[in-house]
Amino acid sequence: MTIRRLDLLIVVFDSAKARFFERGTDGHLHALNEWESGLHRHVMDLVTDKPGRGFGSTQSGVRHAYESADDLHKLEKHRFVQRLVKTLDDAYDQGAFKRVVIVGPKRSLGEFHKLAPEKLRALVTHEVPKDLIKYSDHELEERLGPHLASEAEPLLIRH
């Protein structure tokens, strides 16, 4: 089985969902894959037990509930972007794509930059700091068109 190598991979993501596209020879976006993190679960679904209780530090006998040091939603968002970065890095190492366009909210793009190795950040030709994950493929194509217009010329030159 041969793996098709993409010149340009377009990744539209937020902290809970990622969609992968290629730009076809017809100039339209073609969906390749989609992931979801399951982030939309309730916190009680993420935690199996209530936090424990302990006595206060003063000898007053007052009891307090322990609270987790981590915000579970924030941790789940971080893990999702971390998984995205690892997958893109591995895919690049296997020669799956040459360049990448990333589209996402500013916070998610910032998380991407913190986690991505330098070689992956160097492949990013465009960043679109917009939350477009919920748009249909057609609407996404319309909204990304102006940002990807400059990408069309190199694709035509290379073929």
Is residue 38 over pLDDT 80? no
* Each residue's pLDDT tens digit, 64-91: 555 555 677 788 889 999 999 999 999 9
Is 55 within a domain? no
CATH number at residue 89: 3.30.420.60
Is 130 within a domain? yes
Q: Alpha helices, DSSP H only, in 37-136?
A: 43-46, 72-93, 106-115, 118-123
Of residues 117 and 63, which shows the higher confidence score? 117
Q: At 143, which helix (H) or strand (E)?
A: helix 137-158
Average pLDDT over residues 120-141: 95
Is 107 within a domain? yes
Is 60 within a domain? no
Is 45 within a domain? no
Strand pairing of 17-23 and 6-13?
antiparallel
Is 27 within a domain? yes
Is 82 within a domain? yes
* Each residue's pLDDT tens digit, 99-126: 999 999 999 999 999 999 999 999 999 9
Domain that holds residue 123: 6-40+70-158
Is residue 11 over pLDDT 80? yes
Number of domains in the chain: 1
Q: Give all strands (DSSP E) within the chain, no chain letters.
A: 6-13, 17-23, 29-36, 53-55, 63-65, 97-103, 124-128
Is 91 within a domain? yes
Using CA atoms, how far apart are residues 110 and 45, in angstroms rounded to an integer? 28
